[in-house]
Each structure stands twice: as C-alpha cells, then as structure tokens.
Amino acid sequence: MRIKRVARIYHLHMTKKVFSYIWQAFNEFVENGQLISSSEIFEELKDDDIVKWAKEHKDAFLPLSKEVQLKTTEILQQFPQIIKIQTKGSSNGDSFLIATAILEDGIIVTDEGNKNNGIPMVCESLGVEYMKLNDMLDEVLE
C-alpha cells in the first residue's frame, strides 16, 4: 500500500493555531517521508503560514533531479497546456509535481478541480493516483 503523498500545498489557508493537530500530522508525515513535494512548488508558495512551515521542512521539497526533469519533459510533450502564462494564482509547477509523484510512486494531494489540462485530468490520463485535500485530512483525523 502506498503511503507517500505528493502535495500541492500552497492553497491551504489553515493557521497553525486553529489546526494544530493537522499541522502536527503534516510534520510527522514529513519526518516519516510520507509527505513530499517538488522544489518547484516551494517556489510558488505565497501564504505566510505555509511559507514559514515549508522553510522549516525544506527537505520535503525534492530537488529537480535529472529523472524528474526528463519525466516532466514527457508530461509536457503530452500536455503542453498544463503550463500557463503566469497570471495571478497560476502554477507552472504542476508538471514537476506530477513527475515527482510518478517517480516516487506517490499520490498527489490537490484541491484543483477537473478543468482541462489540470492536475486531475492529467493524472487520470497518465494513471497517477490523486486525492482531494479533504480526503487526506479525513485520513489524518481518523
């Protein structure tokens, strides 16, 4: 059973105080190697609480290895529209996140909806498992 989650966490808006149990679970997931992300996602973080947390857990954001870059290139050849012109709230780290999930045999955690060339659509096309953040939180809270 896979337990590694590859998270796109920059849309979380949970303060540490209000959701301390969840943050503690995230910390444990990182310490156990069960929660990872791509360094490209780290670069896109904007929420102050997430940025602070991410800096404390920088090892969870995997660097762009040659394998990740090659896999990202394959993904972009199939789904070039996953890269968006930088607009407010846009992300160009998605293909790196998906590549990381494939290479790490992980499950992507995202709240992105089922839009054309979004993470869920690309994951479904490539056979990559994904889940909604709320589903992951339900697991944490069990």
Higher-pLDDT residue of 28 and 16 is: 28
Whether pLDDT at 78 is above 50: yes
Segment 38-45 shows an average pLDDT of 91
Segment 28-55 shows an average pLDDT of 90
Tell me, rounded to whole angstroms, the distance of Cα 105 from its chain centroid.
13
Q: What pLDDT is stored for residue 138 in this prediction?
A: 86
Whether pLDDT at 137 is above 70: yes
Structure confidence at residue 39 as a pLDDT band (50, 70, 90): very high
Long-range CB contact pairs, 48-56, < 8 A, 24+: 49/13, 49/14, 49/15, 49/16, 50/9, 50/10, 50/12, 53/16, 53/23, 53/26, 54/9
User: Roughly what angle, to the nearest 10 degrees, separates helices 20-31 and 133-140?
Assistant: 90
* CA–CA gap between residue 129 and residue 44 (Å, rounded): 23
Q: Which helix (H) or strand (E) holds 137?
A: helix 133-140
What are the tens digits of pLDDT across the range 104-121? 999 999 988 877 778 999
Whether pLDDT at 2 is above 60: no
Most confident of 5-14, 26-35, 67-76, 81-90: 67-76
Q: What are the tokens at 74?
A: 């394959």
Residue 8 zone, left/alpha/beta (φ > 0; ψ -120 to 50; rest): beta
Q: Which helix (H) or strand (E) holds 96?
A: helix 94-104
* Mean pLDDT for all residues in the chain: 84
Q: Which domains, ranges and CATH numbers included, belong to the chain?
A: 5-140 (3.40.50.1010)
